[in-house]
Amino acid sequence: MSGAALVDNDVIIKIACYHLDDWFTEAFAGAPALMLKIGSYTARDRVKRSKSIIQKEAAEASLSCLLDKIDKVDPTEEEIELALQMEEAAAELNVEFDTGESQLLAILLIRGGALLLTGDKRAVIAISALEISGAQNRTACLEQLTMHALHAVGAPKLRHAVCSEPKVDKALTNCFGCNAQDVAAEEISSGLISYISDLRRKSADTLIGENSTGTLIQS
């Protein structure tokens, strides 16, 4: 468990929709990626029911391949209790912290994982608001992961993947300039950095450092 990256459903689904499953599993070869066991069923259901995904069958196939390769984990009673405590504390602070993210964070804290990778910016802000000891600099957002994919996969291929599914993630669709005829890699990178910087301002030291993901995600 030590050194593992815990990944939420939102990231898993978007990786599948963009057909980055091969890159994703290879990128985390040095730091195994884990997801909640129940999350695998939830992810399949969300893709099946989605009205935003254009290439539904292709996304389901990519998701199936990804789920076959990624390890699953169940929270212990202790971790479920900690997750509930964090959710209750978040509610008192009037910030949103969903069960999936709270359980992943509880597992991260108790078992000593290295990284929580989430596509939910509300979760990042909630973790910051909770001021939990040991949670600092251990969360990464989808845009940070996308920066690694941009360098590893290449701007043309990744832009085609994102723009082929423009409703899957509005922020990425904006960053990749899907309404323009052509966008330089530098412009895409600047857009991603802008989103990351904005989230960093809203979440203090919750996000992992700009260069730290390089030790976990192999470009």
Q: Counting every residue, how long is the chain?
A: 219
Residue 212 amino acid letter: S
pLDDT at res. 215: 45
Give, in order, the Cα–Cα distances in Å from 79 to each of 33, 106, 126, 161, 176.
Answer: 18, 5, 18, 36, 38
Q: Which of 161, 160, 187 is nearest to 175 (CA)?
A: 187
pLDDT at res. 32: 83
pLDDT digits (tens, 9 = 90+) for 17-65: 999 999 998 887 677 889 999 999 999 999 999 999 999 999 999 999 9
Residue 115 amino acid letter: L
The Cα 106–Cα 75 span in angstroms is 8
Contact in structure between 21 and 62 (CB atoms under 8 Å):
yes
Q: How confident is the model at residue 3 (pLDDT cuts 50, 70, 90)?
A: confident
pLDDT mean across residues, the chain: 92
User: Cα-flanking dihedrals φ and ψ of residue 6, to 5°?
Assistant: -95, 125
DSSP 129-151: HHT-TT-TT-EEEHHHHHHHHHH
The Cα 5–Cα 194 span in angstroms is 24
Contact in structure between 40 and 13 (CB atoms under 8 Å):
no
**pLDDT exceeds cutoff 90 at 186:** yes
pLDDT at res. 218: 47
Q: Hey, which residues does 207 pair with through a beta bridge? A: 139
pLDDT at res. 219: 42
CATH number at residue 33: 3.40.50.1010
The Cα 74–Cα 170 span in angstroms is 31
pLDDT digits (tens, 9 = 90+) for 141-180: 999 999 999 999 999 999 999 999 999 999 999 999 999 8
- Output the pTM of the full model: 0.92
pLDDT at res. 154: 95
State how many domains the chain has.
1
What residue numbers bound the domain in which 136 lies? 5-215
Sheet holding 33-36, edge to edge: 71-73, 33-36, 5-7, 115-118, 139-141
